[in-house]
Structure 1
């Protein structure tokens, strides 16, 4: 276990007998550039901060419970060539945002952001706090696209790096296709596009670039006719009674070198579980013998307190928890469904 894992678990254990110090967790997350957690509810905020910390392992050196996986740099092509486009797997039979705009952001297990064939490449996607968000590579620029069923949800979910000038722009946006901009470093500008793709649906796109062309590239490629499984190759089928999945985030920027899935589950205000599936093509060996079984499968519990379900080639499926939720974490891992071929997104 790395120092990052130890800090996460130590913080969870330290706060297990009392109220969750969300400010402390949030400060750690913000230090890693994950300022979005500031707008979560207090109950979900602590777990999402843990998810943010787990996600930091992708850049700093992805971690399994028992060792370190070589770092995945989303800006460096894999050994087999440049990163390959990955799209979220379809959720058959679930209506898209055009038919049910009220469902956008309502279920963290479902994503409603689609992209036209041949359009910009997904870098990541997520559902949290009533907002769906995806990042795309559009001509070498990273464009962030957000969807919500209300303007209020987007207002409560401001872009990272919010300035007072930008806050003013966001506050007066009419969602009529207007493009706004403010100065950005190195002579660039930060462009924002607000529009309503369909009645009952609100969208915001954001990019730092000399001009606003990439915003329109992404907006014009948006598809709203289908729904998708947010967790990609990971499905959680055994969520404890009274608990719910409260956030989902998937990073695929470096695929086929690797990808990362982060899910959080909360129950009440003091209990929660963070689940992570990390795949890296560079993993050549994994632990095969555990010290317990979960759902009839070998698993490993670290001395400090984290669980890993074993047996996934080139991947680690782990969970950490708050309070006395270890049994619930084991239940969640026991019911986890993972795609057989993690290196083949079409099978997810």
Structure 2
């Protein structure tokens, strides 16, 4: 069963005693499903885009990586309107990968890299299993960039475009060389492994006619600052002994959608999943059956799920039932009650 299937079943069970809450079904299941599915299928979409461009005779030329962080908005396809450039908010006082390579991937709440102001546009970013990752848009092509404090951590990872490359090609030496795979429909996949600074291992891959995008992204990479992985969501209080062990943020469809998923645990077993889902086309839940620190909330009658209300067109939820383990309803309520959510989810400058 896929993540989207599980979310739909979970929602239907929750509302089994009454009418199905279609708003939550849309905002919760579809947004989360899109965030996960887009990340897994990004390479296929990139392949179709490249093939389509090549098919109509549009050459893949040099790439201009875009405007500055201050620009906020960059041109997109006329039919799609504008696309908002999202940049993770700074993690003040936290060193970047250049100063502390050992911290890369160690704290799932922090990204220890960024890009020059004219760098690529983030589609999504994440920290999971010791790997900091970003999927990036460069001239309409999707690049997967991964950083870790060890080669082994990257060898165990296979996400985004990189996941399409055979393991034998993914796991070579980090010497700066470029590997070419057959790719899809005649469009090759290019993969590069290198060490931008001692102790930091980097891997980038792209489905494109040429390999130049790999070097454009490497040139824009900055390792002197750190950023908050959670974007518009921060968890300011965690249960005793717990930490954030996973972070996924999807900003590809801003300003109409953004999704944040944070996993909290004491061990390697997922214990509590906090999710913030914003969708401009849906409405928030307005009626609760519980309160958290005096704020209206919704408590699933079967247990294992809480939602803190009061966020326009957004849902802030905590899942602590199966398959999550180790936390109580009180733990989940405390985490939600202390969570900090940006005022304008469609405006990254406010994060």
Q: TM-score, normalised by structure 2?
A: 0.76
1:272 positional shift: 1.0
Structure 1: gaps spanning 5 or more residues:
12-50, 61-72
* Cα shift at 1:77: 6.8
In the alignment, structure 1 residue 334 sits paired with structure 2 residue 337: yes
Distance 2:188 2:84 in 1: 29
Return 224-233 or 235-244, whichever deviates more.
Answer: 235-244
Distance of aligned partners of 1:251 and 1:163 in 2 relative to their CA distance in 1, 3 Å threshold: closer
Assess if the C-alpha contact under 8 Å between 2:102 and 2:199 holds in 1.
yes
Match of 1:108 in 2: 108
Q: Which residue of 1 aligns with 2:281?
A: 282
How far apart are residue 313 of structure 1 and its match?
1.3
CA contact (8 A) 1:196 1:202 kept: yes
Kindly state the Cα deviation for residue 289 of structure 1 after the two structures are TM-superposed: 3.0
**Contact kept in structure 1, 2:192 and 2:203, CA below 8 Å:** yes
| 2:350 match | 347
Whether contact under 8 Å (1:113, 1:134) holds in the other structure is: no
Deviates more, 1:104-113 or 1:299-308: 299-308
Structure 1 residues 170 and 85: CA distance shift in structure 2, 3 A: same
User: For the Cα contact (< 8 Å) 1:234–1:277, is it kept in 2?
Assistant: yes
Q: CA RMSD in A?
A: 3.1
Query: Quick check: 2:162–2:170 contact (8 Å CA) kept in 1?
Result: no
1:157-186 deviation digits (Å, cap 9, x = unpaired) = 134587897222233x22121000111120
Structure 2 gaps of 5+ residues are: 14-27, 38-44, 50-75
How far off is 1:7 after superposition?
3.2
The answer for the alignment partner of 1:210 in structure 2 is 209
1:126 alignment counterpart: 126
How far residue 303 of structure 1 moved from its aligned partner, in angstroms, is 3.2
Number of equivalenced pairs = 295
Q: 1:177 to 1:161 in 2, by over 3 A?
A: closer
Aligned to 2:136: 136
Q: Render the CA deviation track for 1:91-113: whole Å, top value 9, x for unaligned.
A: 11111111111111110110122
Matches within 5 A, 1:74-89: 81-89=81-89
Alignment correspondent of 2:186:
187
2:158 is the counterpart of 1:158: yes
Query: 1:221 and 2:224 equivalent?
Result: no
Distance 1:78 1:108 in 2: 36
**1:69-99 deviations in whole A, cap 9, x for unaligned?**
xxxx999979982211110000111111111
CA distance in structure 2 between the aligned counterparts of 1:130 and 1:252, rounded to whole angstroms: 22
Deviation at 1:139, TM superposition (A): 0.9
Deviation of 1:57 (Å) = 4.9
Q: CA deviation at 1:320?
A: 1.0
Q: Residue 255 of structure 1 aligns to a residue in which SS? A: coil
CA distance in 2, matches of 1:79, 1:282: 17
Instruction: Name the structure 1 match of 2:67.
Output: none
Who is 2:301 aligned against? Answer: 303
Matched position secondary structure for 2:32: helix
Name the counterpart of 2:243: 244
In structure 1, distance between residues paired with 2:340 and 2:302? 26
2:32 counterpart residue number = 55
Note closer, same or farther for the CA distance 1:102–1:316 as it changes in structure 2 (3 Å cut): same
